[in-house]
Amino acid sequence: MRMVDLIEKKRDGKELNTEEIQYIINGYTDGSIPDYQVSALTMAIFFQGMTEKERADLTMAMVESGDQIDLTAIEGIKVDKHSTGGVGDTTTLVLGPLVAAVGVPVAKMSGRGLGHTGGTIDKLEAVPGFHVEIENEEFIRLVNENKLAVIGQSGNLTPADKKLYSLRDVTATVNSIPLIASSIMSKKIAAGADAIVLDVKTGAGAFMKSLDDSKALAQAMVNIGNNVGRKTMAVISDMSQPLGFAIGNALEVKEAIDTLRGEGPKDLTDLCLALGSHMVYLANKASTLEEARQKLEEAIKNGSALKSFKTFLQSQGGDASVVDDPDTLPKAKYVVELPAKEEGYVSEIVADAVGTAAMWLGAGRATKESQIDLAVGLELRKKMGDFVKQGESLVTIHSNQEDIEKVKEKLYESISLSKENVVAPTLIHGEIT
Ligand code: URA
Ligand code: CA
C-alpha cells in the first residue's frame, strides 16, 4: 500500500476501506508516514467528508493506537458522560455522585487541560487533601465499593488522536465533523465505556455555534458509538450563556454541593437530571426515562446524592467536611460586586467572554504551564431574562489581585441589558439517538 494512492482516493471522493484506514493510522503513529502526507489527507477529508463506515473505522484505528482501559472488573454497565465543553459547566461534578447514588458505576478518567476554568480534576483538588494519584486496582476497588472514583488520564491513550489533533490544529482542518466526532469518540471508547451519554453544547460559548452544526456533530458521534457497539445518545444543550452561576474551581465545587442538596441553579439542575436520566436508563437501572428521573430526584431529596459525594471525596483523601461547611474551600482575598450601570432585562451574557474574564483572574490555564488559582472566579447574579435595577450586582468577582479593571471592563462588554422583556433561552434543544 502507498500513502499517496490513499490520498488520491480520498481526494477523488472514494471510500477508504478498513485496512487502508488502519495502514494510515498505524503508519502515522509509528512515524513511517510523514506529517505532510497526513495533512494532505485531512484536507481531502475536510472537503470530501467520510462515510459512516470510514468514521467507525477511523475511530477504532485510533482506539487501537494506544492503551485501552479494561473496566471489566467493575460490575454493571459503565456509562460515561462527555461534554463538548462550555463555560462554567459544573455537570460532571454533580452527575458523578448523583448517578452513583442510584447504583450506576462511574469510573471517571479525567484531565486538567486548558480553558476558562480547570478540568474536573483541578476542580476536585479545591477540596483539601483530594487526589487522583491512585493505582488502577484501587480505582477499580473504589468503583465497585462506592460506585464512583476519578483517576488521572493514562499516558498512552489514543496517541494517534493526539498527533492528528495537533496536526489539524496547524493545517486548518480541526473543523471537520467526521474528524471531530472520531477524535472525541476514540477517547471515550479507549477509556472503557460500555455506553456513552453526550452533552453537545450549542451557542456562543460552544465549540459549535449553530444548532444545525451541533445536531450534525451529535448525530455523527451517536452513529459512531452505535456502529462500534457502544450504546450512545446525545442531548443538545444551550451554551449561549454560562451554565449555572459559578465559573471557577472552588466556586463550582460549592455550586455542585448546592445542586446535590437540591438548592442549585435551575438550569444546572435541569441539565443534570436530563443527562443523568439517560445514564441511569442506559445502565439498566431504570426501565423508563421517567423512572430514572424519579430515582435521581429522590436521591437529591433523601440526601443519598450528597452522601455519595462525601464518601467519594473521603475515599480519595479529601476533607468531606467541605460538604457541610463549604467555607473550608479555598477563598479569594477580594470579593467585589459588579453593579449594573442602568436598569433593564439581561439580554445577553456572552459565555466565551465571561470565561475569558474568569481565566484572567487565574481560574483557568492560558497555556499548559500556567498556574491555576483554585479560589478565584465569577458568580453570576443575573441570567438572561432576569431584570436588574441600576446599581444591583450583575456578577460577584472573586479575585486574588487587587487591580481587576480589565476583568470588569470585559464583563461589562459581555453582558447586555435591554429595556424590553427578554425570554430566557431554551436549555435543551433536542435529543439525538
Ligand atoms: N475536541 C476533540 O477532542 N477533538 C476534536 O477534534 C475537537 C474537539
Ligand atoms: Ca457553573
Q: Give phi and psi for 166, each to the nearest 5.
A: -65, -40
| pLDDT score recorded for residue 201 | 96
Please give the single-letter amino acid code of residue 139: F
What ligand 1 atom has the least distance to the C-alpha of 165? 6
Q: Residue 110: is its pLDDT beyond 90?
A: no
| DSSP bridge pairs for 81 | 197
Is any atom of ligand 1 closer than 6 Å to the C-beta of 183? yes
Question: What value does the CA radius of gyration of the chain take, rounded to a whole number of Å?
Answer: 22
What ligand 1 atom has the least distance to the C-alpha of 174? 6
List strands edge to edge, sheet with 195-202. 79-83, 195-202, 231-238, 428-432
Just list the catalytic residues: 82, 161, 168, 183, 187
Q: How far is the CA of 421 from the centre of ligand 1 (A)?
A: 38
Residue whose Cα lies nearest atom 5 of ligand 1: it is 180
User: Beta strand 393-399 with 377-380: parallel, antiparallel or unpaired?
Assistant: antiparallel
Q: Give phi and psi for 118, each to the nearest 5.
A: -70, 175
Which range is least confidently modeled, 42-46, 116-120, 327-331, 381-385?
A: 116-120
Q: Give phi and psi for 67, each to the nearest 5.
A: -65, 145
Ligand (nearest to CA of 217)? 1
Q: Which of 200, 212, 248 is nearest to 355 (CA)?
A: 248
Cα angle for residues 186, 190, 195 (degrees, 5° grid): 85
Residue whose Cα lies nearest atom 6 of ligand 1: it is 180
Report the residue among 153, 173, 180, 221 best suited for mutation to probe ligand 1: largest number of ligand atoms under 8 A from its CB.
180
Distance of alpha carbon 389 from the chain centroid? 34
Q: Residue 366: is its pLDDT beyond 90?
A: no
Task: Tell the residue number behind the cell numbers 457502544, with chain if given.
Answer: 230
Beta strands in 314-372 (DSSP E): 334-339, 344-349
What ligand 1 atom has the least distance to the C-alpha of 161? 4
| 192 — pLDDT class (breaks 50, 70, 90) | very high
| pLDDT score recorded for residue 154 | 72
Is any atom of ligand 1 closer than 6 Å to the C-beta of 173? no
How many Å apart are CA 374 and CA 122, to the nearest integer?
A: 8
Cα 155 to Cα 4, 85, 151, 386, distances in angstroms: 31, 22, 12, 45
Give 36-83 pLDDT, tens digit per residue.
Answer: 999 999 999 999 999 999 999 999 999 999 999 999 999 999 999 999
Residue whose Cα lies nearest atom 3 of ligand 1: it is 184
Query: Which ipTM value was assigned to this complex?
Result: 0.93
Is any atom of ligand 1 closer than 6 Å to the C-beta of 184? yes
Torsion sign over Cα 187, 193, 194, 196: negative
Q: Which residue has the higher pLDDT, 16 or 368?
A: 16
Is any atom of ligand 1 closer than 6 Å to the C-beta of 165? yes
Q: Residue 111: is its pLDDT beyond 90?
A: no
CB atoms within 10 A of CB 338: 20
| 86 — pLDDT class (breaks 50, 70, 90) | confident
Q: Average pLDDT, stretch 18-33?
A: 98
Q: Residue 332: is its pLDDT beyond 90?
A: yes
Task: Tell the residue number behind the cell numbers 451557542, with chain if given.
Answer: 203
What ligand 1 atom has the least distance to the C-alpha of 168? 6
What ligand 1 atom has the least distance to the C-alpha of 187? 3
Q: Are 51 and 18 in contact (CB under 8 A)?
A: no
Q: Give phi and psi for 101, each to the nearest 5.
A: -65, -25
Is any atom of ligand 1 closer than 6 Å to the C-beta of 315? no
Is any atom of ligand 1 closer than 6 Å to the C-beta of 185? no
Give 130-181 pLDDT, tens digit per residue.
Answer: 999 999 899 999 999 999 999 988 779 999 999 999 999 999 999 999 999 9
Distance of alpha carbon 250 from the chain centroid? 17
Cα angle for residues 78, 84, 86 (degrees, 5° grid): 125
Is any atom of ligand 1 closer than 6 Å to the C-beta of 180? yes
Is any atom of ligand 1 closer than 6 Å to the C-beta of 45? no
How many Å apart are CA 10 and CA 15, to the nearest integer?
A: 7
- Residue 38 in grid coordinates: 497526513
Residue 21's Cβ-count burial label (10 Å; 0-12, 13-18, 19+) is: buried
Q: Are 340 and 417 in contact (CB under 8 A)?
A: yes
| DSSP bridge pairs for 106 | 148
How many Å apart are CA 362 and CA 374, to the nearest integer?
A: 8
Rounded to the nearest integer, the mean pLDDT of the chain is 96
Give 333-360 pLDDT, tens digit per residue.
Answer: 999 999 999 999 999 999 999 999 999 9
pTM higher than 0.90:
yes
Start-to-end CA span in the chain (Å): 37
Ligand (nearest to CA of 253)? 2
How many Å apart are CA 75 and CA 80, to the nearest integer?
A: 15
Burial 119-137 (b: 16+ CB within 10 A, else e): bbbbbbbbbeebebebeee
Q: How far is the CA of 91 from the centre of ligand 2 (A)?
A: 8
Q: Which of 170, 177, 166 is nearest to 49 (CA)?
A: 177
Ligand (nearest to CA of 92)? 2
Residues near ion ligand 2 (Cβ under 5 Å)? 88, 90, 244, 246
Q: How far is the CA of 132 from the centre of ligand 2 (A)?
A: 22
Report the residue among 184, 199, 208 best suited for mutation to probe ligand 1: largest number of ligand atoms under 8 A from its CB.
184
